[in-house]
């Protein structure tokens, strides 16, 4: 039988994937099977992607995790990466028992949250270098169904439809980030504290929550599109109209911090320092802004010294 492509050559077999017949020029040996050129190229792409994924995984250090399940039990271990769109992820247990030889698969729908920690027991050295995650999203307060409350900032722009999201704790400590499983959340507030679940009748005469102005709404739009400079301008207009609003004060501080991070990324350190110092004027106890400002001062001092020596 002649090859349908190379009519002077005999057919030597068929593709193990699609069944196309061909000669020795049309088919490639892959292990114990033959593949046509189209199927071979497809397989080669998949092999390349798998190798690249494995190489990326190996480059990143394992993350220390404290996995807390919705039923109350806990798992401590390490993992290279967590795909938020998958059904779950694998964890290598911290204390590998003799009868456990494989990583444990953790399903998202069984969880309360996953805590990315500096130390499994909370006994970390603050002088050591630890991973730093810089939030770009809004302030978020989460109350879990078991009563635990965590305040922080969304790592990325908050998506109300996402089944889970990363929360960067407001107070620095052992927790670097918390992956919150939405199904385990009883109450949540964006941009401020949780509202009282059952306010006494006497409080009806208290001033209502500051209404959202058009400037704040426009600021929220710019913030969610990561146009932090424009967002800051709108938030500052709104704050001048309502200087006593804690919600707007926090939005101004978070957005100012993000503008500072932007200037760090473009290596405009002098301007970045101005924004972090502005955050500290607004929030003197902001540890993240303080650390950034100290680091930038050292960088600028070193640059000045180099210029003086030239």
Shared domain for 184 and 69, answered yes or no, is yes
pLDDT at residue 53, as a whole number: 65
| Tokens linked to 141 | 């307060």
Helices 287-309 and 246-265: crossing angle in degrees, nearest 10, is: 30
Residue 2 lies inside a defined structural domain of this protein: no
Per-residue pLDDT of the chain (310 residues; tens, 9 = 90+): 889 889 899 999 999 989 899 999 999 988 888 999 999 998 888 888 777 766 655 555 678 899 999 998 999 998 878 888 899 999 988 865 544 557 899 999 999 999 999 888 878 776 666 666 777 778 889 999 999 999 988 888 777 788 999 998 887 788 889 999 999 999 988 876 776 654 444 544 444 566 778 888 888 888 888 899 999 999 999 899 888 888 888 899 999 999 999 999 898 999 999 999 999 998 888 888 898 899 999 999 988 888 888 6
Q: HEC string of the chain? A: CECCCCCCCECCEECCCCCCEECCCCEEEECCEEEEHHHHHHHHHHHHHHHHHHHHHHHCCCEEEEEEECCCCEEEEEECCCCCCCCEEEEEECCCCCCCCCCEEEEHHHEEEEEEECCCCCCCCCCCCCCCCCCCCCEEEEEECCCCEEEEEECCCCCCCCCEEEEEECCCCCEEEEEEEHHHEEEEEECCCCCCCCCCHHHHHCCCCCCCCHHHHHHHHHHHCCCHHHHHHHHHHHHHHCCCCHHHHHHHHHHHHHHHHHHHHCCCHHHHHHHHHHHHHHCCCCHHHHHHHHHHHHHHHHHHHHHHHC
Shared domain for 135 and 166, answered yes or no, is yes
pLDDT at residue 57, as a whole number: 54
Shared domain for 35 and 140, answered yes or no, is no
Shared domain for 53 and 67, answered yes or no, is no
Picking from 131, 135, 94, the residue whose alpha carbon sits closest to that of residue 116 is 131
Shared domain for 34 and 107, answered yes or no, is no
Shared domain for 221 and 279, answered yes or no, is yes
pLDDT at residue 127, as a whole number: 67
Residue 230 lies inside a defined structural domain of this protein: yes
| Tokens linked to 269 | 């350190």
Residue 201 lies inside a defined structural domain of this protein: no
| Tokens linked to 20 | 């196309």
Residue 203 lies inside a defined structural domain of this protein: no
Count of domains in the chain?
3
pLDDT at residue 81, as a whole number: 80
Q: Is the pTM of this model over 0.75?
A: no
* Distance separating alpha carbons of residues 310 and 59, to the nearest angstrom: 39
* Distance separating alpha carbons of residues 269 and 265, to the nearest angstrom: 9
pLDDT at residue 108, as a whole number: 94
The CATH number assigned to the domain holding 239 equals 1.25.40
Contact 194, 185 (CB under 8 A): no
Shared domain for 278 and 227, answered yes or no, is yes
Residue 94 lies inside a defined structural domain of this protein: yes
Shared domain for 44 and 154, answered yes or no, is no
Shared domain for 55 and 83, answered yes or no, is no
Shared domain for 233 and 253, answered yes or no, is yes
Residue 273 lies inside a defined structural domain of this protein: yes
Shared domain for 258 and 300, answered yes or no, is yes
| Tokens linked to 264 | 């760090």
List of residues 6+ apart from 272 with CB closer than 8 A: 260, 261, 262, 263, 264, 292, 296
pLDDT at residue 59, as a whole number: 53
Residue 195 lies inside a defined structural domain of this protein: no
List of residues 6+ apart from 256 with CB closer than 8 A: 232, 275, 278, 279, 282
Shared domain for 218 and 241, answered yes or no, is yes
* Distance separating alpha carbons of residues 173 and 125, to the nearest angstrom: 10
Residue 4 lies inside a defined structural domain of this protein: no
Helices 246-265 and 269-282: crossing angle in degrees, nearest 10, is: 160
Structural domain boundaries, residue 159: 63-190
């Amino acid at each position: 039988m002649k090859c349908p492509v190379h009519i002077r050559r005999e057919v030597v077999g068929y593709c193990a994937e699609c069944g196309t017949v061909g000669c020795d020029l049309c088919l490639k040996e892959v292990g114990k099977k033959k593949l046509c050129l189209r199927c071979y190229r497809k397989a080669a792409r998949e092999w390349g992607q798998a190798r690249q994924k494995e190489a990326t995984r190996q480059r990143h250090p394992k993350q220390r995790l404290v996995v807390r399940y919705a039923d109350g039990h806990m798992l401590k271990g390490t993992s290279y990466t967590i795909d938020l769109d998958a059904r779950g992820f694998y964890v290598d247990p911290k204390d590998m028992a003799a009868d456990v030889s494989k990583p444990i698969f953790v399903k998202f729908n069984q969880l309360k949250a996953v805590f990315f920690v500096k130390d499994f027991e909370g006994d970390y050295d603050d002088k050591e270098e630890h991973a730093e995650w810089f939030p770009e999203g809004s302030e978020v307060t989460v109350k879990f169904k078991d009563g635990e409350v965590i305040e922080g900032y969304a790592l990325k722009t908050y998506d109300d439809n996402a089944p889970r999201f990363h929360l960067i704790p407001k107070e620095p400590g052992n927790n670097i980030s918390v992956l919150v499983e939405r199904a385990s959340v009883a109450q949540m507030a964006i941009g401020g504290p949780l509202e009282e679940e059952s306010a006494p009748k006497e409080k009806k005469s208290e001033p209502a929550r500051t209404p959202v102005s058009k400037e704040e709404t426009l600021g929220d739009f710019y913030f969610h599109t990561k146009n932090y400079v424009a967002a800051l301008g709108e938030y500052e207009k709104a704050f001048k109209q309502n200087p006593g609003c804690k919600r707007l004060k926090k939005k101004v501080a978070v957005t100012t911090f993000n503008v500072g991070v932007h200037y760090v990324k473009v290596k405009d350190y002098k301007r970045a320092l101005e924004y972090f110092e502005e955050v500290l004027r607004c929030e003197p106890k902001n540890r993240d802004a303080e650390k950034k400002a100290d680091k930038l001062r050292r960088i600028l001092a070193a640059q000045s010294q180099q210029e003086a020596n030239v």
